[in-house]
């Protein structure tokens, strides 16, 4: 392996990631300006609360702690395997596709296992779908990225390059948390994550649940059958099917862990307790919670999981 090439690649990805942070700051300022020109307050209540906690703490934790912890946790797997996929110009497309694959499955598991959804639902909890949604990060994501990405490392993928590919390339999604950009060209919508595609992902309509997990590309969604275009006759209802009644950031972080603990405690058998933790979200032993406005009363009960 050309260590000098790896070091240069890491520098390029770090520059790309820094550019993503600058882009986030730009779109947040643009959102504030557009709201002001529309006669609204510069920040929604949800957006302001996200800014106060998630923007000041989130990027630091995610960049320096979560990703660093993940790389450190994957490195022993890399040391165990004799396999090596060299990092060269010729293997970069393979690393890119592997990074997209890793992002897809981490993202999908974050929706389909309740314990992981308790963490990932923090990002989906905002019913105001604008650029401030970017601020809502998931603090425990490294814990389920590690076992999901370890098999790729055992196949010989360099953990440092894999993690950077899987976490920095999807920074393009910064542009996608908005309803201000409409449908783009059909070929672009089919191939890339777009505001419409990602709007589907953040909608809690039954048609849109558990769809569009891609980071930069929609390729793996097409492969695994989770792609869904936004339909003109089904306007998206953003947020989660059991909406929060507060925008307090601490309560936002804990909102799904509390009922998870209650359901785990209420489950009468060990098997059911295991099902609460690792089953699909939505199975509960407690009284039903409020349903998002815009959904019919029975629609939240029809779905197995909370909102996407």
For 7, 20, 131, the CA distances from 31, given in Å and listed in that order, are 36, 16, 7
Question: Residue 294 domain-assigned?
Answer: no
In a domain, 166, yes or no: yes
Rounded (10°) CA dihedral 20, 26, 27, 33: 170
Confidence of residue 44 (pLDDT cuts 50, 70, 90): confident
259 is a domain residue: no
Whose CA is closest to 107, among 243, 231, 212? 212
- The answer, yes or no, to whether residue 294 has pLDDT greater than 60, is no
The residue count for the chain: 308
Rounded to 10 degrees, the C-alpha dihedral 38/41/46/49 comes to: 140
Range of the domain at 76: 3-224
Output the pLDDT for position 52.
67
Whole-angstrom Cα distance, residue 225 to residue 71?
Answer: 30
Q: Which of 11-25, 33-47, 251-265 has the lowest mean pLDDT?
A: 11-25
User: How many angstroms separate the CA atoms of 61 and 54, rounded?
Assistant: 10
Record the pTM.
0.84
Eight-class DSSP state of 88: S
| DSSP single-letter state for residue 63 | I
20: in domain: yes
- Residues 6 or more apart from 257 whose CB is under 8 A from it? 118
Q: What value does the mean pLDDT take over residues 194-205?
A: 94
DSSP for 248-265? -HHHHHHTTHHHHHHHHH
Identify whether 96 is part of a domain. yes
Calpha distance 269→250 (Å, rounded): 31
217 bridge partner residues:
192
Asked whether 66 and 140 are in contact (CB, 8 A), the reply is no
3-state secondary structure 131-161: HHHHHCCCCCHHHHHHHHHHHHHHCCCCHHH
**What is the DSSP secondary structure assignment for residue 248, as one 8-state letter?**
-
And the tokens for 282? 């939505």
pLDDT more than 90, % of the chain: 39
**The pair of three-digit structure tokens given for residue 143, joined into one six-digit string:** 């814990």
The count of structural domains within the chain is: 1
Residue 267 lies in a domain: no
CA distance 252 to 229: 29
The least confident of 46-60, 185-199, 213-227, 251-265 is: 46-60
Running DSSP on this structure, what letter comes out for residue 163?
Answer: H
- Residue-averaged pLDDT of the chain: 83
10 Å CB burial of residue 47 (0-12, 13-18, 19+) is: buried
Residue 302 has pLDDT above 50, yes or no: no
Structure tokens given for 64: 């320096």
| Residue 127 included in any domain | yes
């Amino acid at each position: 392996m050309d260590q000098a090439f790896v070091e240069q690649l890491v520098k390029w990805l770090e520059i790309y990631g820094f550019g993503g942070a600058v882009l986030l700051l730009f779109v947040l300022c643009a959102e504030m300006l557009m709201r002001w020109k529309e006669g609204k307050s510069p920040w929604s209540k949800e957006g302001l609360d996200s800014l106060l906690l998630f923007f000041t703490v989130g990027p630091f934790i995610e960049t320096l702690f979560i990703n660093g912890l993940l790389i450190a946790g994957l490195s022993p797997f890399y040391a165990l395997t004799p396999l090596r996929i060299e990092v060269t110009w010729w293997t970069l497309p393979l690393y890119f596709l592997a990074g997209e694959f890793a992002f897809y499955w981490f993202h999908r598991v974050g929706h389909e296992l309740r314990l992981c959804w308790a963490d990932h639902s923090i990002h989906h909890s905002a019913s105001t779908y604008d650029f401030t949604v970017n601020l809502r990060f998931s603090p425990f994501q490294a814990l389920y990225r590690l076992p999901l990405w370890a098999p790729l490392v055992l196949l010989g993928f360099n953990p440092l390059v894999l993690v950077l590919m899987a976490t920095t390339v999807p920074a393009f999604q910064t542009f996608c948390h908005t309803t201000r950009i409409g449908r783009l060209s059909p070929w672009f919508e089919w191939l890339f994550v777009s505001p419409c595609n990602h709007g589907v992902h953040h909608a809690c309509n039954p048609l849109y649940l558990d769809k569009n997990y891609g980071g930069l590309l929609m390729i793996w969604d097409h492969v695994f059958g989770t792609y869904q275009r936004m339909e003109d006759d089904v306007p998206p209802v953003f947020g989660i099917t059991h909406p929060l009644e507060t925008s307090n950031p601490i309560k936002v972080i804990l909102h799904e862990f509390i009922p998870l603990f209650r359901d785990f405690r209420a489950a009468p058998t060990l098997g059911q307790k295991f099902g609460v933790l690792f089953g699909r979200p939505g199975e509960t032993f407690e009284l039903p919670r409020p349903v998002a406005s815009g959904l019919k009363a029975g629609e939240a009960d029809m779905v197995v999981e909370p909102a996407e």
